[in-house]
Amino acid sequence: MAPVVVPGVDVALLTGPLVLGYMFGYCLYGILIAQVYIFSQLFPRERFEIKAVVYSMFFLETVFTLFTTIAAYRQYGIGWGDIDTIFIIDWAWDPLPALNGVLAGIAQSFYIWRIWSLTRIVWPPILIGCVMAAQVTISFYYGIVVSVEGRGVDKLFALSPEITVWLSLSAVADLLITICLVQIFADRKKDVNFDRISGLLNKLIRFSVETGSLTSATAIIELILWLTCRQWNFHFIL
């Protein structure tokens, strides 16, 4: 069967990144299931608040994955061959910006609380909290505007400044969290003379750098892809 041809449009550059995004999303959701299971087995007596955060995020990620599955099926299943599916955002995408913002906000709020509990210093949590709250607010605003005014791709481009600010704030929040955690553990290490505790702090620093840098790099790459080639869908991969 010959590929669909739209004059002046490279269809593969629009649909291909979405396919990869869906696939990576399912892969990460599978990892999340394993993580939640391990958490439930290793920490059965964990504090109620921590359990609430873990299971709330798992529930919201499940809802998020459900809506992306509906969107994928409607575009590549019942919408196969329909050119409009390329240029019209499906209704299943409507709740995703808000869910995206809420999930990021919950994760960042947990680290904000962790930074506060480790330092008892007010201004870093407040600074990161303001950035987090702003990106959550913009994610809701974007989702509402697109849902109300129409789901055409032109609406997506019309909101380019808002999306740029949203992605920028998300990356900034992740970077600030990583920097704060690494600085906290590095300062604690200076005050410790025991090799065993020093080794534990080294592991915590390495863990913070590895996980934080991965999250921050993903957010930054997504922002770069949005700024440099927003006419295609490369940013959806991440």
Over the stretch 220-236, which tens digit does the pLDDT of each residue have? 888 898 888 877 888 88
Lowest mean pLDDT among 33-42, 101-110, 134-143, 203-212: 203-212
Residue 4 counted as domain residue: no
Residue 25 counted as domain residue: yes
Per-residue pLDDT band for 173 (boundaries 50, 70, 90) equals very high
Per-residue pLDDT band for 126 (boundaries 50, 70, 90) equals very high
Per-residue pLDDT band for 120 (boundaries 50, 70, 90) equals confident
Measured between alpha carbons, how far is 27 from 210 in angstroms, rounded to an integer? 20
Range of the domain at 136: 11-237
Measured between alpha carbons, how far is 31 from 35 in angstroms, rounded to an integer? 6
Residue 5 counted as domain residue: no
Count: domains in the chain: 1
pLDDT at 10: 72
pLDDT at 3: 55
Residue 75 counted as domain residue: yes
133 with 105: CB under 8 angstroms?
A: yes
Measured between alpha carbons, how far is 32 from 6 in angstroms, rounded to an integer? 38
pLDDT at 237: 86
- Higher local confidence (pLDDT), 217 or 99: 99
Residue 2 counted as domain residue: no
Quote the percentage of the chain above a pLDDT of 70.
88
Task: Say yes or no to pLDDT of 195 above 80.
Answer: no
Quote the percentage of the chain above a pLDDT of 90.
39
136 with 102: CB under 8 angstroms?
A: yes
3 state SS of 152: strand
Measured between alpha carbons, how far is 94 from 132 in angstroms, rounded to an integer? 21
Residue 225 counted as domain residue: yes
Average pLDDT over every residue of 197-206 = 72
3-state SS of 154-221 is HHHHHCHHHHHHHHHHHHHHHHHHHHHHHHHHHHHHHCCCCHHHHHHHHHHHHHHHHHHHHHHHHHHH
Task: Say yes or no to pLDDT of 92 above 70.
Answer: yes
pLDDT at 168: 92
Residue 6 counted as domain residue: no
Residue 38 counted as domain residue: yes
